[in-house]
């Protein structure tokens, strides 16, 4: 895993209700595009994500445009709704996150093949009058999303090669 490159832009020329913040993080990975894509689109296992703790997506659901699901965050104790906007398999996943009125968040994951693996790009766009406040809360976590995604995908690839590809099963209190 190589260090990430980051860029940001805050557009203050718009009115406060229409201001937007854009931040992009990129990480180079030795994992394949397939491994990274599998990790991104496994919406049932978001344990690698520093902002999300869980989702209500059933196992085996294929990510496609129009899918709406709930996610629970590590930062605030309320569920957020996530709407899948665009999907280009093994290239791009774009979602819109509906947190609260006055705040609109769009997240885009892009995966590109490189000579020694792949490059993951994680972009966050915040719009609305609450975006500066919300950004101050999520900035440290958002900076880690791409790197933790890469670490998880690389670890899964290493386990698959070593023959230990079993994931721990999440059990409820009534499972014996």
CA 143/CA 50 separation, integer angstroms: 9
pLDDT at 15 over 50: no
CA distance linking residue 176 with residue 174, whole number of Å:
6
| Cα(70)–Cα(154) distance, integer angstroms | 27
pTM score: 0.80
Q: What strands lie across the sheet with 79-88, from one edge to the other?
A: 5-11, 20-29, 117-127, 103-114, 92-100, 79-88, 68-73, 52-55
Q: Are 102 and 129 contacting, i.e. CB atoms less than 8 angstroms apart? A: yes
In the predicted model, is pLDDT for residue 10 greater than 70? Answer: no
Residues 84, 65 contacting (CB under 8 angstroms)? yes
| Strand ranges inside 35-91, DSSP E | 52-55, 68-73, 79-88
CA dihedral for 93, 94, 99, 105, sign (positive or negative): positive
Give 66's pLDDT tier (boundaries 50, 70, 90).
very high
Across 31-40, 44-53, 66-75, 154-163, least confident range: 154-163
Could you give the CA distance from residue 12 to residue 10 in angstroms, rounded to a whole number? Answer: 6
Query: Quick one: pLDDT band at residue 76, thresholds 50, 70, 90?
Result: confident
Q: Summarize pLDDT for 77-134 with one digit per residue, the tens.
A: 789 999 999 999 999 999 999 888 889 999 999 999 988 889 999 999 999 999 999 8
CA separation for the pair 167, 156 (Å, rounded): 9
- The counts of H helices and E strands in the chain are 2, 8
* Spatial separation of the C-alpha atoms in residues 154 and 147, rounded to whole Å: 11
């Amino acid at each position: 895993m190589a260090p990430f490159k980051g860029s940001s832009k805050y557009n203050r020329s718009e009115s406060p209700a229409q201001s937007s913040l854009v931040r992009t993080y990129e990480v180079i990975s030795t994992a394949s595009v397939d491994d990274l894509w599998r990790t991104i689109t496994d919406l049932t296992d978001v344990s690698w994500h520093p902002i999300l703790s869980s989702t209500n997506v059933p196992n085996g659901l294929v990510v496609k445009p129009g899918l709406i699901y709930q996610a629970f965050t590590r930062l605030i104790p309320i569920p957020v709704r996530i709407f899948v906007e665009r999907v280009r398999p093994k290239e791009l996943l774009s979602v819109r996150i509906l947190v609260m009125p006055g705040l609109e968040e769009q997240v885009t994951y892009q995966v590109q093949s490189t000579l020694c693996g792949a490059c993951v790009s994680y972009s966050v766009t915040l719009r609305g009058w609450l975006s500066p406040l919300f950004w101050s809360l999520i900035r440290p976590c958002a900076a880690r999303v791409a790197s933790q995604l890469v670490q998880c995908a690389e670890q899964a690839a290493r386990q698959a090669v070593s023959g230990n590809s079993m994931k721990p099963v999440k059990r409820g209190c009534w499972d014996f």
